[in-house]
């Protein structure tokens, strides 16, 4: 699996950057839970909104720790970060190398296009599993200090679905890039799906 290992080796700095980005999102948002949960003004503001918007955006669950994490982290800011990462990783995996002329160097070593695609797809999955594990650890470590009262199984399910969505979007970019060899098309498909 030399293509897989090479892909992970070249992308470790970006993975650390995206992990730090997720940590910053959590550090910025999670401390506000206690003040939001205890705020009568927030409740009255939500009551003034149409019920369809409140339920559709998950604001009705915002006064529990799990609901707050879901609506502010998993459905909003952290999701935006991982979708951007996924579109970037997916579009660069094949189409980026194709446009730069680097894919031919890999293929010259007797590696088939199918193998390159499969191993780079596996590298994307591993990156998202690592991001998901880091996010899970951050959320579980933040549960007690910020009075979130998060359950491990519910947090696991939320983070897993979050990562699965990001992988699907990354794979759409990867497929578009592999089919066309153009990074702009891969970026457009991933961004359009997101």
The string of DSSP codes covering 119-185 is HHHHHHHHHHHHHHHHHHHHHHHHHTTTT----HHHHHHHHHHHHHHHHHHHHHHHHHHHHH--HHH
Residue 23 clears pLDDT 80, i.e. is over it: yes
Residue 48, Cβ neighbours under 10 Å: how many?
Answer: 8
Is 9's pLDDT higher than 90? no
pLDDT reported for residue 143: 93
Kindly report the pTM of this predicted structure.
Answer: 0.86
**Chain segment 97-131, per-residue pLDDT in tens:** 888 877 777 778 888 888 888 999 999 999 999 99
| pLDDT tens profile 29-73 | 999 888 877 778 877 887 888 888 878 777 777 788 888 898 888
More confident residue, 20 or 72: 20
Rounded mean pLDDT, 80-95: 90
Spatial separation of the C-alpha atoms in residues 91 and 139, rounded to whole Å: 29
188 vs 136: CA distance, rounded Å: 30
User: What is the rounded average pLDDT of the residues 154-172?
Assistant: 94
What would the mean pLDDT of 70-83 be, rounded to a whole number? 88
pLDDT at 154 over 80: yes
Look up residue 102 and give its DSSP letter: -
Q: What is the pLDDT of residue 63?
A: 81
Least confident of 12-26, 31-45, 131-145: 31-45
């Amino acid at each position: 699996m030399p293509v897989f290992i090479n892909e992970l080796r070249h992308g470790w700095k970006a993975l650390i950057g995206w992990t730090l980005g997720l940590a910053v999102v959590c550090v910025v948002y999670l401390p506000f839970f206690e003040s939001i949960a205890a705020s009568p003004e927030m409740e009255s503001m939500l009551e003034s909104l149409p019920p369809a918007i409140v339920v559709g955006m998950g604001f009705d669950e915002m006064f529990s720790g799990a609901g707050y994490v879901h609506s502010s982290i998993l459905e909003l800011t952290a999701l935006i970060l991982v979708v951007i990462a996924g579109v970037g990783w997916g579009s660069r995996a094949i189409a980026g190398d194709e446009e730069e002329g680097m894919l031919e160097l890999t293929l010259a070593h007797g590696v088939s296009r199918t193998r390159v695609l499969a191993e780079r797809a596996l590298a994307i999955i591993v990156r998202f599993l690592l991001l998901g594990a880091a996010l899970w650890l951050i959320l579980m470590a933040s549960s007690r200090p910020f009075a979130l009262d998060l359950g491990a199984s519910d947090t696991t399910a939320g983070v897993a679905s979050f990562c699965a969505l990001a992988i699907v979007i990354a794979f759409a970019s990867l497929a578009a890039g592999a089919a066309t060899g153009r990074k702009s098309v891969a970026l457009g498909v991933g961004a359009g799906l997101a």
